[in-house]
Structure 1
Amino acid sequence: MANLHVKVEETVFTTDKELLVKHSEYFRALFQSGMRESSQDEIQLHNLGAMGFLITLRVLNGERPLLSCEEILEAVECAAFLQVELLTKHLINLIDSDNCLVMYEAAATYGLLNLFHEAALYIRDIYELLEKDIQALPEDLIQYIDSLMPSTYVAVGAHTPTIEFLEDLSRTMCFLNEKDNQWVSLGCIPENASTFLAGVTTLNNKIFIVGGARGANKQVVDRSFCYDADNHTWSEFDSPHQPRYEVTLVGHEGYLYAFGGEFERVPVSYVERYCLSSQVWTFGKELPQPMAGPPAAKAMGRIFVSLWKPHDTTMIYEYDTDKDDQVLISSIKRPRSYGHCMVGHRDNLYIMRNGPSDDFLHCIIENFNLTTQQWTTLSGQYVNSKGALFTAVIRGDTVFTLNRMMTLLYKIDAGTWKPIKEKCGFIKSGTLHTFFLRLPMKTKLMVSKLYKSPHQSFL
């Protein structure tokens, strides 16, 4: 390993030269230029802050530090000047309601287009909460935010393929018109698709459905489908090598990850990933134990999977996508209580579990903080209402939960979930899949004309 001494302001940093060349376009160009500096073991960087360079080195060495607004400004400057994609990705993963405007303006100033766009999308989703601050932005920045489509809450019930001429309401996929408090149909999923015990996730404004089952005997459905929200079209794509149902599907950075599942009533530990660009499935490192439907979530740009050992231990593993490895992060013991849903918010994982003595009408929420590595239990018990909290998804700082009776929104604030709003429920009871999509206005207008009702547009 060749050390390099880098002077920034009055601070000298000693770092791995190869690490900088690997991750920084600036240093790669510098040391391949043939100029005098390319053979030196000490260089000086001008017009950059020492704090920003320190953050850069921490990220390149695998850390994921939380940053103050001042630190964000220096980090953005370094990411732009040194052209460090890994640092830009880390900044994107840090976007939240407290720093999104700072990220947005800084990215605009230094020309970090990916960060600029992702921060704008985040702001668009919580526009009402930031409206006064948004109006203080330069006009061109306001116009860019206004040009974007906000994310929309979408749901579909558990559908198993049936005879073509039989109508099945569970095939209907709907979105919530929050302004009018109505569910509006987006049409039906393909007749041969299954959302019953299927893996369902979103990526790149598309819905992906993998596997699933049909009938009481749980016959596996070995077909996979994709809904493109931008074009309002369905298509079929290759299924994983191992057919299975009750598989957990996660979309992340151009890949679909399929975890666990069940085949012929036997849990499996297989992990496969699908590359959207090459359209190929490959096997990854298996889960530490077979598991059907393991809860999974993303937080801080990382994938986490929850497993449990009957009857008392819940274990959180990180799936390291770069190293293709399952890493045990933490575990917690709770007698006869299992995690059924997990969601990520900032550097927190929230695990929803059944109440004491297998009480599924009440829900206990555990919080694991990735930074402090500490577990806390949210105060009180949350009414589960037939699975509502087991279909939780988050937009900004707001949790959306859903059942037949109502859509209940919670605000995540200081480690608590506070109910803030109720909206209409979803007509289909039982297992639900919920997610967010950015639906073009033309699609919303089209489906609203096709499905009209004074109450719920898909009835």
Structure 2
Amino acid sequence: MDWEQSWNKLVVTGGAGNASADHSEAFDLTNVDGQCDRIPLLPVQIYGAELGVMDDVPIICGVINDCYALKNGSWSLFTHLDQPRRYYGALVVDRFNGHEELWISGGESRPPYIYESTEVVTLEGVRQGPKLARPVLAHCMVEFKGQVFIIGGMSIGFPFNKETDEVYVYDDETDEFILHSRLNHPRLGLMCGVVKNAQGQEQIVVAGGSYKLNVIGSEVEFLSAGNSSWTIGSDLPVPLKGAASVQGDGTIFLVGGTSDSGNSAQIFEFDSQAERFVEHEISLTKARAEPAATLVPDNVVSCS
């Protein structure tokens, strides 16, 4: 993503609750009173999925194995995953072939089967990616200082599956994911991204999620470059899980999700100077659990 384009428009789609699973909406995050063009309904209902932008085209895959592209004001089917997935991690990368691709990791299918496989989506099709260290779902995926991290989630356990504190990093030389560190709090349905602190230094932030299967957390942790220990930050304003993590320029936005009071329409933004999350002036028109969201270039949607 080229931040010189000043991507300020947010597209949100899918999610559970209030008939939002096929509904999309857009916002100009710099204009609280602005109005954006209507985005048509998705052809299918999607939740627990991710949005990515490749070559200025928003892409979403999941629940079933269809992948859709938002082009010329409408969603169109353009390829299929090898496996139907939800609650996967996803990241737009250019590390494999020198151009942007959507790397999808883990997740689950119906009936519940947790994947350790990954798939790489291009505008031309899909291919298999490197295997994860272990099957995982409801995790977070982020690129930091040239490395790709798989953070938290739910892994297979005995006698029950359980949330994990494990953090893995992809090794380009061995084509494997290796254990990097452990969070202070195991969690699934967490949010993550790369933010700047008050000194302008980049770090990974992890926020919210759930543990003990149904306890929603508000804990925030940071990882600085060259470190393997996570530090505790200021809690989220509210406990939150299953929000969309939207990467911005030195900040991230947490969109929708589920709090103790139910599905959320709130948007939270990381304030670098205060080094904490604050509520954004703009909120969604529909409360959404597990939505997909991303910033998009100006040519994707018009706002006034």
| Shared fold per TM-score greater than 0.5 | yes
Return the alpha-carbon distance in structure 1 between the equivalents of residues 297 and 173 of structure 2.
28
* Secondary structure, counterpart of 1:227 in structure 2: strand
CA contact (8 A) 2:204 2:223 kept: yes
Relative to the length of structure 1, the TM-score reads 0.53
d(CA) in 2 for partners of 1:241, 1:355: 29
Residue in structure 1 matched with residue 282 of structure 2 by the alignment: 424
- Residue 351 (structure 1) aligned with residue 206 (structure 2): yes
Matched, 1:409 2:269: yes
Distance in 2 of aligned mates of 1:423 and 1:363: 20
Deviation per CA, 1:371-427, whole angstroms, max 9, x where unpaired? Answer: 233321003x22336548x3232322343233445433331238x2253x6313112
Checking the alignment, whether the CA contact within 8 Å between 1:272 and 1:283 is kept in structure 2 is yes
Aligned to 1:75: none
Identify the residue that residue 119 of structure 2 maps to in structure 1. 272
Query: Does 2:102 align with 1:256?
Result: yes
Query: Residue in 2 aligned with 1:324?
Result: 175
Q: Tell me which protein shows more strand as a share of its residues.
A: 2
Give, in whole Å, the separation in 2 of the partners of 1:356 and 1:197. Answer: 18
* 2:233 corresponds to 1:391: no
Q: Hey, what does 2:295 align to over in structure 1?
A: 436
Q: Distance in 2 between matches of 1:366 and 1:268?
A: 26
Structure-1 residue corresponding to 2:70: 227
Say whether residues 1:246 and 2:96 are aligned partners: no
Change (3 A) 1:186 1:323: farther
Aligned-pair CA distance for 1:363: 0.6
- Conservation of the 8 A alpha-carbon contact between 1:172 and 1:185: no
In structure 2, runs of 5+ residues without a counterpart are 95-99, 156-160, 197-201, 257-263
Contact 2:208 2:236 in 1 (8 A): no
Query: Is the aligned partner of 1:285 residue 2:125?
Result: no
Partners of 2:42 and 2:280 in 1: CA distance: 31
Q: Distance in 1 between matches of 2:87 and 2:163?
A: 22
The residue number in structure 2 matching 1:341 is 191
1:188 pairs with one of 33, 36, 40: 40
Does structure 1 residue 202 correspond to structure 2 residue 53?
Answer: yes
Aligned to 1:151: 8
Structure 1 segment 25-44 matched on structure 2, within 5 A: none
Match for residue 97 of structure 2? Answer: none
Q: Which residue in the other structure is 1:83 paired with? A: none
Pairwise CA distance, 1:332 = 3.2
Percent identity, aligned pairs only, is 15
Q: CA deviation at 1:305?
A: 0.9
1:197–1:247 CA contact under 8 A, matched in 2: yes
Q: Is the 8 A contact 1:172 1:186 kept in 2?
A: no
Q: Is the 8 A contact 2:254 2:268 kept in 1?
A: yes
Provide Cα deviations, 1:130-178, integer angstroms capped at 9, x if missing partner. Answer: xxxxxxxxxxxxxxxxxxxx43122123279xxxxxx955433222133
Deviation at 1:249, TM superposition (A): 2.4
Q: Deviations over 1:197-232 (max 9, x none)?
A: 3343222222211121xxxxxxxx23111113xx43
CA distance in structure 2 between the aligned counterparts of 1:339 and 1:386, rounded to whole angstroms? 9
Question: Structure 1 residues 322 and 194 mapped into 2: Cα distance closer, same or farther (>3 Å)?
Answer: farther
Which position in structure 1 is the counterpart of 2:139?
294
Q: What is the match of residue 261 of structure 2?
A: none
Q: Is the 8 A contact 1:194 1:211 kept in 2?
A: no
Gaps of 5+ in 1: 1-91, 93-117, 126-149, 161-166, 213-220, 449-459
Q: 1:306 aligns to what?
A: 151
Task: State the alpha-carbon separation in 2 of the partners of residues 345 and 172 from structure 1.
Answer: 29
Q: 1:171 aligns to what?
A: 22
TM-score by length of 2: 0.76
1:273 CA displacement: 1.5
Tell me how far 1:367 sits from its aligned partner.
Answer: 0.8
Distance 1:249 1:189, change over 3 A: farther
Q: Looking at CA atoms only, which structure, 1 or 2, has the larger radius of gyration?
A: 1
3-state SS, counterpart of residue 179 of structure 1: coil
Displacement of 1:320: 3.9
Task: Tell me the distance in 2 between the aligned counterparts of 1:258 and 1:408.
Answer: 25
Q: Could you say if the C-alpha distance between residues 225 and 247 of structure 1 is closer, same or farther in structure 2, counting changes exceeding 3 Å?
A: same
Any residues of structure 2 matched to 1:64-213 within 5 Å, and which? 118=2, 121-122=3-4, 125=6, 150-158=7-15, 170-177=21-28, 178-182=30-34, 184-191=36-43, 193-212=44-63
Output the CA distance in 1 between the equivalents of 2:121 and 2:21: 27
User: Distance in 2 between the 1:173 and 1:269 partners?
Assistant: 30
What amino acid maps onto 2:270 in structure 1? Answer: Y
Could you report, residue by residue, the CA deviation over 1:245-282 in whole angstroms, capped at 9, with x for unpaired residues? 33322221122212111122121211122343xx2422
Aligned to 1:45: none
